[in-house]
Amino acid sequence: MQMVVRPQGLLDYATAYAQMRAFTAARTAATPDELWLCQHPPVYTQGQAGKPEHVLAAGNIPIVPTDRGGQITYHGPGQVVAYPLVDLRRAGYFVKELVWRIEEAVLAVLASYRLTGHRVAGAPGIYVRLPPPNNEAASETLHTPQQAFAGLGKIAALGLKVHQGCSYHGVALNVAMDLEPFSRINPCGYAGLPVTDLATCGVHATCDEVATRLSEALLRQLSVDRSSAGCIG
């Protein structure tokens, strides 16, 4: 069955959240999986594990509680957000593999720009080495967040929810954005965790271009029938 790609443009987060939940609640065994691609106006989203102390100074940026896993993160213009709405029962794998597949897609996008991404055990998402001198203490063996964050910056955040065997929420890849709002929180619950984007890493690409590469990589990883994928503009 084809996975349908739906570019959404600039979409209010609360609207996207409500639509994801409604789509997941209404879908049946015959509903095709969908991949939504968008950007959000500035917003902090708090996961189910979120703690108030990780919000340092939100200012005028709204905070939206959500039912995804993880803690607090920031979304804003210049960041590509992908929401894979996947029937895991039909796909034949569990949420841990879904996380792995999404991360593989992000790693492939980074590799297409000649960047090496890294996983950190226990801290979902993808990280890259920061430019010198910030990367001098980076560990070659990324065992735990405490050991591995030195010299790394987070470039993609990931959080999911599974309801009745179907996933929603997804991954946010930083392209060329104002990173200052990340300094007002402990990103993903880690105090002082650096956050970076493709532009800071020397990649000058538009969000549309990155969204295309990310959607293609996700389709390769997530489609049940990997030979085909549909697109609705």
Active-site positions read: 188
| Alpha-carbon gap, residue 114 to 117, rounded angstroms | 10
Q: Which residues pair with 156 in a beta bridge?
A: 126, 173
Q: Which of helix, strand or coil describes residue 61?
A: coil
Measured CA to CA, the distance from residue 76 to residue 86 in angstroms comes to 24
- CA 175 centroid distance within chain: 12
E-strand stretches of the chain: 4-10, 34-39, 43-46, 63-65, 72-75, 79-85, 117-120, 123-129, 152-163, 166-174, 230-231
Q: Which two tokens stand for residue 37?
A: 């691609």
Q: Six-digit token pair at 70?
A: 């993880």
Residue 67 near residue 162 (C-beta atoms within 8 A)? no
Distance of CA 136 to the CA centre of its chain: 26
List the structure tokens of 164. Answer: 């009745």
DSSP 169-225: EEEEEESS---GGGGGB-GGG-TT--B--TTTTT----HHHHHHHHHHHHHHHH-SS
